[in-house]
Each structure stands twice: as C-alpha cells, then as structure tokens.
Amino acid sequence: MFFNQPIASWQDWSKVYQSIPAFAPLAAHILQKENLPAAPLEHLSPGTNAVFRAGDVVLKIFAPPESGFNNSPCEASMGDDLQTELFAIKRANRLGIHAPRLIAEGIVDDKYRFAYMAMEFIEGEEFTPKNMSEKEKFAFGQKLRAITDKMNTPCEPFNGVDVLHDKTRWERWDKFSEHFREERAAWIEAHDFGEFVFVHGDLNGDNILIAPNGELTVIDFADAVLAPIAYEHALVAAALNFDPALMRGYFGEEPVESLARRCFEGTLIHDFGGDIAAERIAPPEEIGCLEELRRKIYHKIGGALSWPFAS
C-alpha cells in the first residue's frame, strides 16, 4: 500500500491533496513504474488535484472516486479530467502552443484507484503584473492573444461537458438573487451563442508561466471545454484585472461595445461566472438584474480601453 490516508469525501481529499508525506510513496512508485528518475517531491501551485514537482517531472495525481469529485477513473474510463488534459495537451503541442510535454499517463490500483499524468517541468514564473512596465504588460497581452487565437478553434468533442445547460455548473450564481438567477436562465435558453470552439477555461496567472526569455507556457487544462469564444475572453479580461495595458495588448483596438457584450455573455455562461461577477465586477447585492451586470461590465471595459497607451 503506497497511500494510506482516508478519503471518504471531498473534505478528506482537501486535507491531503497538497501533502508531500501522504503522496511521496505513491509518487515514488509511479516514477519507478514509468522508468523515471527518483526525486523528492516539491510543492507547485495547488489546484483541485494533487500536483507536485519531482526533479524534471510534474506529477499530477487525480482525485479518486471516493473523493466525490466527478473526474475520477472508473473501469471504462480514466476520468473526465484526465481525458480532458490528455486531449488538450496533445492538441496544444500539435498546434505549436507551448505547453508541458506529456511523458506518461496511467492508473495505479492502490488503497484507492489513482489516475495520473507525468509531464515535463517547465521553468518559469507565474504571471503577475505587479513588477511589469506598461510596455511589458502590452507585450504580454499580445503574446497571450496569439496563443488563444491558435487554441480557440473548432475541434471534435473531447468531454461530455455542457457549458450551457449543466445545472451543476450554476452553483456559483447561488449568491445572487432569485430574480437574477431566473433572468439568467431564461436568457441562456433564448440566446444564440454561435460557434463553439476549444477553450482553456481558466487562463489565470497561475496557469500562465513566463520563461526568462519571455516565452509563455500554458498549463493545467483541466477546465477545458467546447464553448463560445466569449467563455474564454470573459475570464481572460477578469484575470487581466481589466488593466488598461494588458487589455489593449490582448484585445487591441476592439470597440468597447462589442467587447463588453462578449464579456457579458461569457460571464453568464462560465463555470466561474458567478465568482467573476462577484469578485471582479461588483458585489451580488449591487447586481440585481442582467441589465445592471451588463452596465457594470461595460463600465469596466470602457474604463480600461479608454486609457491612453502608446504601444
């Protein structure tokens, strides 16, 4: 037995998924199984699954079925999360998008059934604009847009996620009024979203690495889905914190009206949309209806894009 901690709920998993002592024996077994060099584990930025660095390798060990998280391996499948990441990384590499190279993947039947991936470790700093000049921010925005333009293209279905109608993805809107939630549900049913494309789904600072030479690496594709492009752009705008130079770099000279409309649409359908609205737009008590959300997003976008910046 390589893993000995009890996992009977999401709370149990949350207590151990960042624990090096808990996962060290299992990680050592995986490295040996895949003929990879033994190395001590180091912490990486936490997510939903257990992620550690082991020398030049990143090990990602997925939450088992007992955690209650709906991404876990079963007899017929290695889990939605794993299947999504495998598809997304291979697609990114094929398209020339800089992402970690997949080294190995598989399942270990231990006390629990653990799916895992081994990927190359890529040196780089997580994106943060704190110490960047305005021109560096602008250049970053341009580089990120070049990546997403390659990535946000049509592709075959790769998981079963329904971004529009899966009610389990609506929970982050529970903090908003019943009237707002009803209006949102009706709007989604009536709206024509157009073409669906591949989206990363979580392009925040933790998932974008900047190498010393300035090259960007995209990591952690667990939230990738097929969705309207507005889904990606709404989260990117929020992740850029509506910073004028970053926004100008990423969105260029796009008119405020069209960009605000797209971010409004993307926020309403995003898995993290309720959090985006509450944390980056305005408190829920200040957003009583869709029109109030639309106006506030327009104000945010307008404030960013009206800022004078010479690239």
CATH code of the domain containing 55? 3.30.200.20
On whether residue 204 sits in a domain, the answer given is yes
* Residue 102: φ, ψ to 5°: -75, 125
**What pLDDT sits at residue 228?**
98
Of the residues 87, 120, 153, the one at which a domain ends: 120
What is the helix (H) or strand (E) element at residue 261, kind and residue range? helix 256-269
**What pLDDT sits at residue 73?**
43
Domain extent at residue 185: 125-305
**What pLDDT sits at residue 307?**
64
Residues 137 and 46 in one domain: no
- Please state the length of the chain: 311
**What pLDDT sits at residue 159?**
92
On whether residue 4 sits in a domain, the answer given is no
Of the residues 120, 137, 172, the one at which a domain ends: 120
Closest CA to 251 of 272, 227, 233: 233
Residues 59 and 14 in one domain: yes
CA distance 138 to 129: 11
Collapsing DSSP to helix, strand or coil, 51 comes out as: strand
Closest CA to 19 of 36, 39, 43: 43
CB–CB of 150/97 below 8 Å? Answer: yes
On whether residue 2 sits in a domain, the answer given is no
Closest CA to 217 of 135, 138, 130, 143: 143
What pTM, to 2 d.p., does this model score?
0.90
Mean pLDDT in each 10-residue stretch from start to end of the chain (311 residues)?
94 96 97 97 90 97 86 46 90 93 94 94 92 94 98 95 94 97 98 97 95 93 96 98 96 94 98 97 97 97 75 49
Collapsing DSSP to helix, strand or coil, 223 comes out as: coil
On whether residue 207 sits in a domain, the answer given is yes
**What pLDDT sits at residue 78?**
43
**What pLDDT sits at residue 305?**
82
DSSP secondary structure code for residue 22 in this structure: H
Residues 97 and 243 in one domain: no
Q: Which residues contact 36 (CB under 8 A, 6 or more apart)?
A: 30, 54, 57, 103, 104, 118
What secondary structure does DSSP assign to 168-199, as a single string?
GGGGGGTTS-HHHHHHHHHHHHH------EEE
What secondary structure does DSSP assign to 193-219, as a single string?
----EEE-S--SGGGEEE-TTS-EEE-
**What pLDDT sits at residue 68?**
84
CA distance 195 to 43: 39
Domain count, the chain: 2
Of the residues 72, 88, 120, the one at which a domain ends: 120
**What pLDDT sits at residue 46?**
82
